[in-house]
Amino acid sequence: MIRSTFALPVLIALATVFGLVVALTGDGISDTLSWIGLGCPVAAVGWAIARIPRQPRAPLLWVPTPTLVRD
Amino acid sequence: MTRGTVRFWIELHKWSSLVCTLFLLMLCVTGLPLIFHEEIDAAAGDPAAIVSGIAASGSDPALLPLDSILKRALAQRPGEIPLYMAFYDDRPLMTVTTGARPDVPVSGMHIQVVNRLTGEPVAETGGGHAITEFLLQFHTDMFLGLGGELFLGIMGLVFFVAIISGVVVYAPFMRKHDFGVLRTTRSTRLKWLDYHNLVGIVALAWMTVVGLTGVINAFITPITKVWQADELAAMTHAYAGRAPLPPARYGSVDSAMVTARRAIPGMNPQFIAFPGTSFSSGHHYGVFFQGTTPLTKHLLTTALVDAETATLTDARPMPWYFKALSLSRPLHFGDYGGMPLKLLWAALDVFTIIVLGSGIYLWIGRRRSLGDATRLAPDRAVRAPVFNKGIS
């Protein structure tokens, strides 16, 4: 599915349209369903960013930065 | 797709985008705070935003008669005549709009917000509203009136062409890649090309719906004109050719409301248009009712009541094109599903800004970095497994 050019885009578009329309039809559960539908395109971008391959890096030593103390 | 076809769609995507991008950027940037206009108005101290209780549109006995509300409001504006009365459906507030003549432009109208339980004015709109009013005006017509409104509507249509052509060119660009590919390390240009493609394709449906409903909203003036010439003329044909009713002979608004409620039972009024305004004839109170369910509250049903005698002339639902306009309002504003929907609306608005901004970057970068000799041929754009030059 990830290989197909339009499979996931079409599913995301359908989820979006479902979310846009369902919130018009009522409150409560309809609103919750609309958040799920419209959450799909936002989640897709988050997922794509999360799976960017990380460059192998030399392990860094974490050095605590001194915090400024106001007096 | 043949080479020529791809070339055509790439050119269409490039030129349609170039035409509309700056205006769309303005619409996205001004639209982003407008998603939260209720919250901004409340935070800016607009008293109307924080009142709650009995709906002014209902028939609760605690609500004051419309005639007494109108009398008080008119006393504040000597020499003016009533144009509209409108009702909140979630709080006891209503507005009374007055002006020097029935046909004054919006700039010549004066709006008073009144508490229908006490008859007291709440606050004149303009104070707490100032920020969102400014943004809304810029977003609607760039302070250019009807011309600006129609211009932005046409830009919305061009944006739709850019979206469709963008989807078509997405296919050859993504042929060899998985959905969601983000090549962030090879070049800035490739990184932004991938972001442009990914964010554009996932926001496709939202951008299309919000774009096209924006176009419908932009054409509100011509749509209203069609309704006047078509439905309103048909509903009031018995009055055609009569001189307009002088304001001194306007009868009781409460009596007209009783007649209208009898004609359209089970609904509450959204607004009353006084004689001579865009939503009435020279002889009628146009009483516009909204439905009571979440879906039908966006749809209006009209009762035209003789303003002198309070007898019913005609009542009918608004025609399909006005229903389309009414439904396109929530779908454009995103204010119909609570705060989470507003936040998602804001995220998708930011996505659109990313698509527009990366599009400009890809176009400018292309022009600066490459001469004609190295220009990417459209067939390579289709066949090359990795091509980091983007749309020429």
**Domain residue ranges of chain A, discontinuous segments joined by +:** 7-50
Tens digit of pLDDT per residue, chain B (392 long)? 788 899 999 999 999 999 999 999 999 999 999 999 988 888 877 777 777 788 999 888 999 999 999 999 999 999 999 999 999 988 999 999 999 999 898 888 999 999 999 998 887 555 557 888 899 999 999 999 899 999 999 999 999 999 999 999 999 999 899 999 999 988 999 999 999 999 999 999 999 999 999 999 999 999 999 999 999 999 999 998 899 999 999 999 999 999 999 999 999 999 999 999 999 999 999 999 998 888 888 899 999 999 999 999 999 999 999 999 999 999 999 999 999 999 999 999 999 999 999 999 999 987 655 443 334 434 344 443 334 444 44
- B183: nearest CA in chain A? A52
C-alpha to C-alpha distance for B375 and B391, rounded to whole angstroms: 10
- B37 within 8 A of B131, measured Cβ to Cβ: no
- A26: nearest CA in chain B? B294
Minimum distance, in Å, between the CA of residue B126 and any CA atom of chain A:
30
Q: In what order do the strands lie in the sheet with B268-273?
A: B121-124, B110-115, B93-99, B81-87, B268-273, B284-290, B300-306, B312-317
pLDDT given for residue B319 in this prediction: 94
Minimum distance, in Å, between the CA of residue B308 and any CA atom of chain A:
38
- Predicted TM-score (pTM) of the model is 0.85
pLDDT band at A53 (very low <50, low <70, confident <90, very high): confident
pLDDT given for residue A36 in this prediction: 97
User: What is the C-alpha end-to-end distance of chain A, expressed in Å?
Assistant: 59
B345: which chain A residues are within 8 Å (Cβ-Cβ)? 38
pLDDT given for residue A68 in this prediction: 60
Closest CB from A12, A24, A45 relative to B330: A24
CB-defined contacts A:B, below 8 A: 100
C-alpha to C-alpha distance for B311 and B245, rounded to whole angstroms: 15
Q: Is B175 on the interface with A (CB under 8 A)?
A: yes
- B243 within 8 A of B282, measured Cβ to Cβ: yes
C-alpha to C-alpha distance for B19 and B159, rounded to whole angstroms: 8
pLDDT given for residue A3 in this prediction: 81
For B253-289, the DSSP string reads HHHHHHHHHHHSTT-EEEEEEPTTSTTS-TTEEEEEE
Residue B17 CB neighbour total at 10 angstroms: 24
- Alpha carbon of A32 to those of A19, B27, B140, B222, B331: distances in Å? 9, 28, 30, 36, 16
